[in-house]
Structure 1
């Protein structure tokens, strides 16, 4: 039976929402997927102007200012006030679509809930992080990291998880957090992985192909330079530069004020422009201090790049140390430099790690695989609910 899904989303979610929508739309086990963005409840959208939206937007700003002061703009969506208003919007949507034979509701993240009470439709969540994991990172005082500390918000988050029939998580560390801290039944939490948000090269060249590793060019891709370990990378690059005068580092996604020989600052790029850089470099490195997931490593692996990352979050789940790249300790420029120097000294190892990374990415980390797993789990839950209903009659 082909499924009809109501999909509740807010924002880009690092490009994940768009990838999921596209992949669901082409899955032969999905009949329809209707997308609702509840943020209209607290932020007016031109062409959909409502007096209530303007009022809620104003009240939402006041709530964020009251709770978070100068940081209020980021937290506009992350106050109990906004949470409840967006939840009301979702509740109305579910009630409306209930008449159109929707089989299940799926939402990403937990900045709102399905409804005030447990919905009468099978309901599912896809997320890459928990508020608890953000609070627990040991480096949160070294860069700007946003998380909610109020007991009310934490209660709303936990209640949302408990309302779901199943929670799909992008990495195993998130699954552990939901089970150990939020008290979810392990059977209801499924790690499904993630995929590459850039697939043009795979569409053109789905097979492993020859790549040159004779140059010594590193690539960093990230918007939050501090959180992504940019400072540690620069220190490591200085060490690498002493060994290899021709070494280069390209920084994409941000514009830190850096004056180091061999460092090229590119700034933000669209996916098509970013592809050019993945093609021409030899190693991808991003020594993050905190990382819920990190699609960029998967993107880099599809371009046959050996990857260097830290042992935080799900990075060790993506990068296999010594097989597809190297895992280093966070805040350790010396260890980063040692790994990069080793790779530059051994081009054959760069090729070997790049090959293994490519094979792992196309086998384990695709949005098609993620969606297939989600659809299978949703179908199984629907079948189980139907059997339970029949047995009670």
Structure 2
């Protein structure tokens, strides 16, 4: 059964233009998550306010994604600070729409399985829909009212009602999605949120939309001089984004005879017009006062299809907001291979690695921004290194496919919890089991899309290890310890092939006497590292298995393997934890649920066994009769003395 998701984003439509006062990261977030969720098999409707008279009620935007334009308030642009009075009409329309869908589809759940609200007013609507229909909801706030008021004071145009609404929503939501660790802390400390309901899921970037373009080509496309120093600032034109800090930094650079041009992208119109975008007028006045009016290019609003040229044309991307719930533009810049200098706040300090992909600076500190830009220009090798590292960093951790997979895991967790809580009155035990099957199948589908290439890479590394005459050391804790011995048993014994010699795999979890003695006498964190130092040889490979990636004894085992010049592979889950950046190759299961992670990890181990055996068959000579096999081994190899003692049967 295809599950239907209703996404609410009252002011930020996926069809909106990027860079306006009320158009920015949320528009991108909603559109990208909707498309990626549809790719995972969900049916998605995005409900957003109708802000133009010619917009139809429903638009098929992408395969599996509709945009539903809600008549709430005038069919014209309205600042989001003034939208709260129109939310009752928004709710009425959605409830009626859901009931129409219920009749049309002849379903008892109102047509939608879950609502994902974006922003506090959308969350209020979702909360009321839950009261009317019982449909559970999760919320991504994107910005919290109490944080905004702390930084903007009287300039904050939202009503005080926002605080009470957010507090109520935090208690009523079935799941809270924080975009970074600071967002999570604010929800707990300022709103009393239940930490068990909070899931950290960052924003992402579309690598098919943003990639490095040769700098000379990008500048020629935009009409920028090829040899000039160019710094980019791109985003919404509002005071809290701190563009004035960047202007002051550029002025300082030019006074140091580091002549630099600042390109500013954003605004309400394609031509930078202070009448249409007052913030541009304020910034132009500041640039003139600083004497750098001729060194600053305001280019106005630009379509997303050309933003990669701006990111690629720049030497450095600078973003210095006072606060930032997440911030998508640093990810887009890094995806294009451009280092980022950003404020050490909110999501930026989560995505930018200080001293690796750019630098973090204090907000409103132009001198620090200037010094960091100057250093990079004076050290071009560091500038180039940061750019390469930035691109790899984003591709590894911050893609929309990974974001959607994490969201889908949260949806399934919320839905399975809701089913369990109401099972006595709404479903039978069989339906509960089917829901778990659905969650497991979804996890498998996500893993197939995201980690198949990693499984193949690991299989090849293990096969190469055996071909070099090396052995595989494998370890983990708890259920992962059992999987370590399972994996060793399959390869020391046999998996599918009935006519091969044993392969040298040593489970470091198998020697109970050693484990208990060393843990008692020295410490549990050293039990695997001790064995790695004892048994590992340079041609060997260490495989660590963990659902969280945070086990200290596995971290120490990897460190020991590095010291022994042994390659390391991690079979991990979730974010990958501490182990992800340490291992040479990783298979990271994209799920927040340990049970789902273990299920996919078991499949991954079986696929590795199957591929390794097939690789042996491709390179082996024909099998000899049993009588000759003992006298002439097909593949003499090193024997691992502590390998799992018994082969696993096919039913294990």
Q: TM-score, normalised by structure 1?
A: 0.82
Q: Residue by residue, what CA displacement relative to the aligned partner does 1:339-361 show, whole Å, maximum 9, x if unpaired?
A: 11111011111112112211111
Q: Residue by residue, what CA displacement relative to the aligned partner does 1:336-382 show, whole Å, maximum 9, x if unpaired?
A: 11111111011111112112211111121111111100101111222
| Range moving further from structure 2, 15-24 or 278-287 | 15-24
Contact 1:343 1:349 in 2 (8 A): yes
Q: 327, 347, 350: which is aligned to 1:317?
A: 350
* Equivalent residue number for residue 91 of structure 1: 95
Instruction: Structure 2: give runs of 5+ residues left out of the alignment.
Output: 14-25, 58-69, 217-225, 268-279, 429-652
Q: TM-score, normalised by structure 2?
A: 0.51
Q: Residue by residue, what CA displacement relative to the aligned partner does 1:228-280 show, whole Å, maximum 9, x if unpaired?
A: 21212111111111334442211111443234142222121111222221121
Higher relative contact order (Cα pairs below 8 Å, separated by 6+ residues): 1
1:57 paired with 2:73, answer: yes
> How is 1:201-240 mapped onto 2 (pairs within 5 angstroms)?
201-202=210-211, 216-224=229-237, 226-240=239-253
Return the alpha-carbon distance in structure 2 between the equivalents of residues 376 and 172 of structure 1.
19
Return the alpha-carbon distance in structure 1 between the equivalents of residues 89 and 172 of structure 2.
18
Contact 1:329 1:335 in 2 (8 A): yes
Return the alpha-carbon distance in structure 1 between the equivalents of residues 352 and 258 of structure 2.
28
Return the alpha-carbon distance in structure 2 between the equivalents of residues 135 and 195 of structure 1.
27
CA shift, 1:383, in A, is 2.0
**Pair 197,131 (structure 1): closer, same or farther in 2 beyond 3 Å:** farther
* Equivalent residue number for residue 67 of structure 1: none
CA shift, 1:389, in A, is 3.6
Structure 1 segments (4+ residues) deviating >6 Å: 209-214
**Pair 171,146 (structure 1): closer, same or farther in 2 beyond 3 Å:** farther
**Pair 160,115 (structure 1): closer, same or farther in 2 beyond 3 Å:** same
* Equivalent residue number for residue 76 of structure 1: 82
* Equivalent residue number for residue 185 of structure 1: 194
Contact 1:104 1:121 in 2 (8 A): yes
Return the alpha-carbon distance in structure 2 between the equivalents of residues 145 and 224 of structure 1.
15
**Pair 319,31 (structure 1): closer, same or farther in 2 beyond 3 Å:** closer
> How is 1:1-393 mapped onto 2 (pairs within 5 angstroms)?
2-10=2-10, 11-12=12-13, 13-27=26-40, 30-37=41-48, 39-40=49-50, 45-46=53-54, 57=73, 73-77=79-83, 79=84, 81-98=85-102, 99-100=106-107, 101-112=111-122, 113-116=125-128, 118=131, 119-137=133-151, 139-140=152-153, 144-150=155-161, 153-196=162-205, 199-202=208-211, 216-224=229-237, 226-254=239-267, 255=280, 256-257=283-284, 258-259=287-288, 260=292, 261-390=294-423
Contact 2:207 2:395 in 1 (8 A): no
CA shift, 1:293, in A, is 1.7
Partner-residue secondary structure (3-state), 1:248:
strand
Return the alpha-carbon distance in structure 2 between the equivalents of residues 331 and 46 of structure 1.
43
CA shift, 1:48, in A, is 6.1
CA shift, 1:163, in A, is 2.5
Return the alpha-carbon distance in structure 1 between the equivalents of residues 336 and 346 of structure 2.
23
Contact 1:220 1:250 in 2 (8 A): yes
CA shift, 1:335, in A, is 0.9
Indicate the RMSD between aligned Cα atoms, in angstroms. Answer: 3.0
Return the alpha-carbon distance in structure 2 between the equivalents of residues 388 and 45 of structure 1.
44
Return the alpha-carbon distance in structure 1 between the equivalents of residues 257 and 296 of structure 2.
13
Q: Residue by residue, what CA displacement relative to the aligned partner does 1:143-178 show, whole Å, maximum 9, x if unpaired?
A: x4433323xx43223223332210222222222222
Q: Residue by residue, what CA displacement relative to the aligned partner does 1:183-216 show, whole Å, maximum 9, x if unpaired?
A: 22111111100012674244xx7xxx98789862
Partner-residue secondary structure (3-state), 1:289:
coil
Return the alpha-carbon distance in structure 2 between the equivalents of residues 188 and 163 of structure 1.
11
**Pair 294,191 (structure 1): closer, same or farther in 2 beyond 3 Å:** same
**Pair 188,263 (structure 1): closer, same or farther in 2 beyond 3 Å:** same
Partner-residue secondary structure (3-state), 2:320:
coil
Return the alpha-carbon distance in structure 2 between the equivalents of residues 349 and 225 of structure 1.
32
CA shift, 1:181, in A, is 2.2
Instruction: Structure 1: give runs of 5+ residues left out of the alignment.
Output: 62-71
